[in-house]
A and B are shown apart, each in its own frame.
Chain A
Amino acid sequence: MRVVNRVKVAFAAAGFCLLPGALPVRAHHSFAAEYDSKKPVTVTGIVRKVEWTNPHSRMYLDVKDAKGVVTVWNFEFGSPNHLFRAGWTRNTVKEGDQITVEGWAAKDGSHLAQTRQVILADGRKVPGFASGTDSGGAPAQ
């Protein structure tokens, strides 16, 4: 299997956990305390800045409305540790790329959202939150 296909398979399988209604496993803070699962957002824009930082990666998008007014959206992603282990690289999304991001808006009304998935310019969909190490209480065998 070529590398790109292998990564696609990995993303596709992990994406199972990121279907609508399936909120990401939270590690660092409560999802429900910050974001609203009833406020899904989908925006398309140009990546202004990528932050490979903890506790979360962030991507800032310039999003232009019908009147040409640009709003900067702040999308929270999984930690770079989780994303890179899930197959992301620094080239998956770069500054200047046009991407579409789907996620859930913050409760405080700011242009902040948690990412569910990214649709890249070539149409590939990649999960924005990959967290697979919490046993979630899986009992000892």
Chain B
Amino acid sequence: MRTRFVCSLAVGLALAVAAAPQEPAASGGRAARAAVPAGPVPRMSDGKPDLNGLLNGGLSSQDIGVNLAPGEQILLTPAAQKLMQSRRPKDDPEANCLPAGVPRMAPYPWRIVQQATHVFILFEANIHSYRQILMDRSHIPEANRWPSWYGDSVGSWDGDTLVVDTVGFNDRFWFDAKGHPHTDQLHTIERYTRKDSAALVVETTVIDPGSYAKPFKVVYTARYAPKDELMEYICAENNQDVTHITTPTR
């Protein structure tokens, strides 16, 4: 955990060094993750915080537990515990190029596109897909939707925080590589708060009485990278890994 954090800092520093706006791109790759000095929160014309931009950071794709908010616990039901223990890495939907679902994030950049009526989250990976959040609407009636990977998301503003309420998930994605499960009763409430021009804090409440004895909150801080752009990522084009995964070791 500490090593990974230190490595993240080291690589981030390396990339910051490599990112030289005055250098020709062809000579230095596409490193563009220079640190952004923090300034005031930018605002849209209607006064709402402007969340638009490319971001790095998310929950650990390996173990959601390391992102637990202070005082929070993951309390699996006996059935969920049994299911989690039975899971094998080769069956992780993420390793098989299926969507990460919510709240799982792959360690790749993502972008928020904010409109008054919709907010889109564009994922570079994994997979190269998007979430659609409808602002100030009710959920689609249950009879009119089917269980899905990203669910049915509606957004609203609580002061300067964008609140995204999502239901209607399928039970197929895993919360992390450890296999934390959920059922189709899953309900997530995400709170996106732009702390300053450089940082976005995302707190997610996970509610699923089918798998967890009580709701729990996970949190992370994402960083804006205005000089970077999303790149193509087609996961299924050359996914050789699962055929070589031979052990249950996580």
Contacts and interface: CB of A to CB of B under 8 A. Distances in A.
Interface of A: 1, 3-4, 6-7, 9-14, 16-17, 22, 25-30, 32-34, 51, 53-56, 58, 74, 76, 79-81, 83-89, 106-108, 110, 112, 130-141
5 contacts: A14-B11, A106-B244, A133-B57, A134-B60, A135-B220
Interface of B: 1, 3-8, 10-15, 17-18, 20, 23-24, 26-33, 56-63, 66-67, 88-90, 92, 94-95, 97, 106-109, 124-126, 177, 195, 199, 201, 203, 219-222, 228, 231-235, 237-242, 244-250
A134 B20 contact: no
A136 B219 contact: no
B4 A29 contact: no
A54 B234 contact: yes
Given A29-B241, A137-B63, A55 B126 contact: yes
A4 B56 CA distance: 26
Given A10-B14, A131-B11, A136-B4, A33 B247 contact: yes
Contacts of A80: 231
Contacts of B97: 55
Sort A-B residue pairs by CB-CB distance and give the 7 closest, nearest first: A137-B66, A132-B11, A134-B107, A10-B18, A13-B14, A17-B7, A53-B238
Contacts of A133: 8, 56-58, 107-109
Contacts of B106: 27-28
Quick one: which of B12, B59, B177 has the most chain A CB within 10 A? B177
A3 B4 contact: no
A55 B59 CA distance: 19
